[in-house]
Amino acid sequence: RHFEVIGGDEVASALSARGRRILVTFDDGYRDNYLVAFPVLKRHGVPATFFLATGYLDRPMVPWWDEIHM
């Protein structure tokens, strides 16, 4: 209630305007972002940006935290 929540497409225009804004992002690409967070965000009309990790740039591997979870 103290900030205006904006979507990724509003960042450029928000930089030149006065006010308090936030951009909600998820950067790990895990399924729970979609299964848990997305329905809550949708229900409340909150825009968000989801970054999906497609892998490491320098070598194919599974992160250690995913490896021990399997």
Helix/strand/coil (H/E/C) assignment for every residue in 13-70: HHHCCCCCEEECEECCCCHHHHHHHHHHHHHHCCCCEECCCCCCCCCCCCCHHHHHHC
Q: Model's pTM, two decimal places?
A: 0.70
pLDDT digit string, tens, across residues 1-40: 899 999 999 999 999 999 999 999 998 878 889 999 999 9
pLDDT digit string, tens, across residues 57-66: 777 777 787 7
